[in-house]
Amino acid sequence: MAKGIKDKVAILGMGCSRFGERWDMDADNLMVEAFEEAIADAAIDVSQIDAAWMGVGFDAMNIGPSGLPLSIALRLPNIGVTKVENYCASGTESFRGAVYAVASGAADIALALGVEKLKDTGYGGLPVRTRGTTFDMVGVTGSAPGNFAQVASAYRAAHNVSKDDLKRAIAHVSVKSHANGAKNPKAHLRKVVDMDTVLNAPMIAEPLGLYDCCGVSDGAACAIVTTPEIARALGKTDLVTVKALQIAASNGWELQHAGGWNGSYFHPTRVAAKRAYDEAGITSPRDQLSLTEVHDCFSITELVTMEDLFLSDEGQAWKDVLNGDFDADGRTPCQIDGGLKCFGHPIGASGLRMIYENYLQLLGRAGDRQRKTPPSLALSHNLGGMPSQNVSAIAIVGLADA
């Protein structure tokens, strides 16, 4: 296996726009909002950026093709700007581009920016779109909640969990994220909710109710990365470095190979997690990870992901969730910033937003929501696609000496 990039790249600065229904803003404005914070944090001049990557999920909806919208919005100095799209994992994908450029030595300083402007569609949820001419003839155009709800039915069957038990467990996931999001000034949804509200909400896709679904938001997030040496030379002292960055993509096995996958977990997440732990030198994630930001597009996704990241035993996450293991004051907090659920989910920005929160937490800059036990290693998990076919992106960042 490749040696990996552990500690080869440091985060020089990060920024994140307020997420939400930003009726007054175009994608360009959101990009600028995230960028201004990031470049101020990095304390460099725009002319020092060598290359840039932009992650967008629904380009046709908001910015159009190519990397040009980023180059133009930020008036970048005619550097290489590449747009990447990998479903909802586009944010981490853009981070990978920038990080790999620095790790390879091709760039000294690189920028990753994820953005999404969803609230011009005219309706809630994600835009309906084609998935290619062949798929459109034989596939099912379900909604995102419908696609992810499939996991719930299979999880119940695989682990013999009652409908009520699973519904309560996923409700706890959302109640917890709302409690966290309420403390986050940049979050889209900042209201605390109770179990009854979640359990009795209108059904969106059985068993997922309204509160089992994340917010669909406008927003942008940005990272500026460089080598640890350059970061120190620029005067940075507390360094957050990239410990691991892994992406695993489905190859159709889950969707097409009968009798293989049982539908109850995310196969690429398990693959990416193993690789990421290897790359980061993590042998016991439950003991070593300080906190996680996972792709809680739906409550059931977060619950199952706890198992796929080996933070819960298979079939046991629903109990660990109810036990409060992943609450802000629990064993391994998950979505301490409110997550996709409440911070919001501007598709292309989400992966970078997760890293942004982990970066703040590691540096002790997370304000009211700062984890009491000082964190040293934080994982973000950014998932694109659907349970049967997805892109799973995992980034582990930590203090340079962790």
Partner 1 sequence: MMADVGILSFGAYVPRRRLQRSAIYAANAWFAPGLKGLAKGERAIGDWDEDSVTMAVEAARDTLTGIDRSTVGSLSLASTTLPFVDRLNSGIVKEALVLSDGVAAFDLTGSQRAGVSALRDAFEAASGRKAPHLCLAAEMRKTCPASDLELLSGDAAAGLLVGTGDVVAKFLGAYSLTTDFVDHYRSPGMDYDYVYEARWIREEGHVGLTSRALKEGLAALGVNPTEIDRLLVPISAKGVAATLAKKAGIPDSAVADTLQAQLGEAGSAHGLVMLVAALEAAKPGEKILLVGFGQGADLILLETTDALARLAPRRGVAGSLAGGVKDENYMRWLAHRGLVDLDKGMRAEQDQKQPSTTLWRHRKAVMGLVGGRCTKTGTVQFPKSDISVNPNDRTAHTQEDYPLAEIPARVLTVTADSLTYSPSPPLYYGMIDFEGGGRMTAEFADLTEEVEVGCEMRMVFRIKAVDDVRGFVKYFWKAAPVR
Using the minimum distance from each CB to partner 1, give the nearer residue, 46 or 157.
Answer: 157
CB of 27 to partner 1, least distance (A): 20
Using the minimum distance from each CB to partner 1, give the nearer residue, 1 or 258.
Answer: 258
Nearest Cα neighbor of 376 from 249, 243, 247, 275 is 243
CB of 213 to partner 1, least distance (A): 9
- Measured from the Cβ of residue 190, the count of other Cβ atoms closer than 10 Å reads 16
C-alpha 205/C-alpha 193 separation (Å) is 20
C-alpha 396/C-alpha 275 separation (Å) is 11
CB of 304 to partner 1, least distance (A): 12
Using the minimum distance from each CB to partner 1, give the nearer residue, 141 or 162.
Answer: 141
The vertex-53 CA angle with 299 and 341, nearest 5°, equals 15
């550097």: which residue's tokens?
A: 79
**Catalytic pick among 188, 267, 295, 345:** 345
CB of 338 to partner 1, least distance (A): 22
Using the minimum distance from each CB to partner 1, give the nearer residue, 23 or 123.
Answer: 123
Kind of pairing between the strands at 203-205 and 240-249 = unpaired
**Catalytic pick among 16, 88, 213, 214:** 88
CB of 137 to partner 1, least distance (A): 5
> Which residues of this protein are in contact with partner 1, per CB under 8 A?
121-123, 125, 128-130, 133-134, 136-146, 149-154, 156-157, 202-206, 208, 251-253, 255-260, 262-263, 387-388
Q: Is 297 an annotated catalytic residue?
A: no
C-alpha 350/C-alpha 294 separation (Å) is 10
Using the minimum distance from each CB to partner 1, give the nearer residue, 120 or 238.
Answer: 120
Nearest Cα neighbor of 381 from 264, 275, 249, 293 is 293
The residues, any chain, with a CB within 8 Å of residue 207's CB and separated by 6 or more, are 149, 152, 163, 166, 167, 170, 300
CB of 220 to partner 1, least distance (A): 25
Q: Is 345 an annotated catalytic residue?
A: yes
Using the minimum distance from each CB to partner 1, give the nearer residue, 117 or 183.
Answer: 117
The vertex-328 CA angle with 377 and 154, nearest 5°, equals 90
C-alpha 304/C-alpha 49 separation (Å) is 39
Could you tell me the two tokens for 217? 């938001």
Could you tell me the two tokens for 149? 């709800």
Nearest Cα neighbor of 354 from 148, 100, 95 is 95
Active-site annotation, residues: 88, 345
